[in-house]
Each structure stands twice: as structure tokens, then as C-alpha cells.
Amino acid sequence: MTITYTIIFFILGTAFGSFFTVIGLRLPKKEDFIKTRSHCDKCKHELSMLDMIPVLSYLFLKGRCRYCKAKIDNLSTYMELFTGILFALSYYIFGISYELGIALGIISLLIILSVSDITYYIIPDEVLIFFSGYFIIINTLWKGLPSALLYIGSGIALFTFMYMIMMLGNFLFKKESLGGGDIKLMFVIGQILNPFLGIVLIFIASFIALPISFLILWKKHQNLVPFGPFLLISFTFLFFTQINMNMIIDWIKSI
């Protein structure tokens, strides 16, 4: 039965991954992502249901539009597959639980904001507000109002800490070092992680981003790197592994 539900969650994940990609691409441009039908970016022909089956349509059409034969951007396919895997992994690890609701929210946030930040270097406020409210509601329902208020305080603490990092970076580099979206994202992350783990998350994200930043500088000759996806990848890693501060302290002591 576990395998059956894991497969179901994978299929659901691929479908949601397609929708999340549309949100990430359209919302920063203020385009409607609910009523407007999907279409080919080249010939503008509206896509049928057969053209939008997650992952499979891309494979069957060999990565090309059915109507004009133009090459299809494979971003959506990658995100569909990635979301499907993470949805399945969420159910396999957490089952039907409070943690599953949190995990699915984190994955949704990861996909939407990664698409928008990588494509436009924008983290939409609407997405941050929605998921902040989502996490506050789920914390209130499962852990009670006092606990939810503590997590709101954690969000404020991480927002403040990230803002101080931005101010220091601006002073040292004499230019904008962090986007406002990254700072506001830390408030949302604080609804799940305590401030100490939030600080660990920032260091992990920076560690992951550093070699990729050098690669972008070498290949594209630019130093503009979307930091949001790295924060969210670290966020996903910490939540899925359930690492806590005691484990980190013990690891540091062993080193």
C-alpha cells in the first residue's frame, strides 16, 4: 500500500510541478496563470490536454511543439519530474502527518520561487505572503497558537539577521549584495525552523552557492546569482533530514 500511495504522490507531484512552473513564469510578469490557457511560446497555438501531460508529453513529442515543431523549453519537464520525486519522497518519509503538510508546502515554495528567481531574479511577494499564511495556519492547527506565535517570532529574528547581512554586504561591496526577496523569504523559513537552524541554513546555502557563483562568473562573466533557490534547497534538506541543533553541536565536537 505504501508503494501505491508513493506512486500516486509522484503522479500528483508531476501535475503540480507543471502548475508551479506556470506560476513561477507568469506571476512576475503579472500574467494570469489560472484562466489563460497554456500555449506555445513560438507559434502561440493553444495547447491541448494531450500536449500537457506532465513529463510524458515532452517525451512523446520529442521536445518539440506539435504544431510548429519548435523546440520546447525543457524547464517545465525538469520541474515536473523533480516535484514528482520530492512529493513521493515526502509521503514515503512522513506518511499522512503534520510533517507531510509542511514538506509539500516547502516543495511548492521551492519550485515556484526557483523558477521565478532563476528566470527573472525576482521572488514575488504574493508567493511569500501565501506560504507564510499557509505555514502559520498549519502550525496553529497542529501545534496551537502559542507555538505558532513563537515561530512568527523566529521568522522576525531570521528576517532581521538576513537584513543585517545585507547591510554589511552593501557596506563592504558598495552595491546591493542581497535582494529584498531573499530577506523576506527568511521570515517564511522562520515559520518552520528556529533561528539557530535558520542561521545554519544560510551558511549551507552560501557554501552550495559559492562554486556555482564562480562557474557563472567564468562562463557568463557576471556576478549576479539568484540566492533564493540555494536558501530553499538548504531549507528542504534540513527539514527532510530532520537535523537539529544537538546533532550539529555533536558533529562540531567530533570534528
Per DSSP, the residues of the chain read: -HHHHHHHHHHHHHHHHHHHHHHHHHGGGT--SSSSPPB-TTT-PBPPGGGGSTTHHHHHTTTB-TTT-PBPPTHHHHHHHHHHHHHHHHHHHH-SSHHHHHHHHHHHHHHHHHHHHHHHS---HHHHHHHHHHHHHHHHHHH-HHHHHHHHHHHHHHHHHHHHHHHHHHHHHSS--S-HHHHHHHHHHTTTS-HHHHHHHHHHHHHHHHHHHHHHHHHHS------HHHHHHHHHHHHHHT--HHHHHHHHHH-
Q: What is the mean pLDDT of residues 147-174?
A: 92
- The pLDDT tens digits of the residues spanning 35-60 come to 777 766 667 667 767 667 778 777 77
pLDDT at 190 over 90: yes
pLDDT tens-digit series, residues 97-156: 999 999 999 999 999 999 999 999 999 999 999 999 999 999 999 889 999 999 999 999
Q: Which amino acid is at 59?
A: L
**Distance (Å, whole) CA 200 – CA 2:** 33
Q: What is the pTM of this model?
A: 0.90
Vertex 117, ends 113 and 122: CA angle to 5°?
A: 100
For residues 219-233, average pLDDT? 83
Q: Which of 12-21, 37-46, 190-199 bottoms out in mean pLDDT, i.e. has the lowest?
A: 37-46
pLDDT at 33 over 90: no
CA 218 and chain centroid, separation: 26
Measured from the Cβ of residue 93, the count of other Cβ atoms closer than 10 Å reads: 15
Cell digits for 93?
Answer: 518519509
Please state the φ and ψ torsions of residue 128, each to the nearest 5 degrees: -65, -45
Q: Does residue 249 carry a pLDDT above 90? A: no
Are 232 and 118 within 8 A, CB to CB? no
pLDDT at 86 over 80: yes
Q: Name the percent of the chain lying above pLDDT 70.
A: 92
Looking at residues 217-221, what average pLDDT do you find? Answer: 72
Split at pLDDT 50, 70, 90, the class of 219 is confident
pLDDT for 204 equals: 92
Residue 211 exposure: Cα atoms within 13 Å on the Cβ side: 3
Which residues contact residue 170 at a Cβ distance below 8 angstroms, ignoring those fewer than 6 apart? Answer: 176, 177
Question: CA 97, CA 186: separation in Å to the nearest integer?
Answer: 24
Question: Residue 45: what pLDDT?
Answer: 67
Query: For residue 92, what pLDDT is reported?
Result: 94
Computed over every residue of the chain, the mean pLDDT equals 87
pLDDT given for residue 51 in this prediction: 65
pLDDT confidence of 221, banded at 50, 70, 90? low
The region of weakest confidence among 65-74, 89-98, 153-162 is: 65-74
* Separation of alpha carbons 232 and 184, rounded Å: 13
Average pLDDT estimate for 160-165: 94
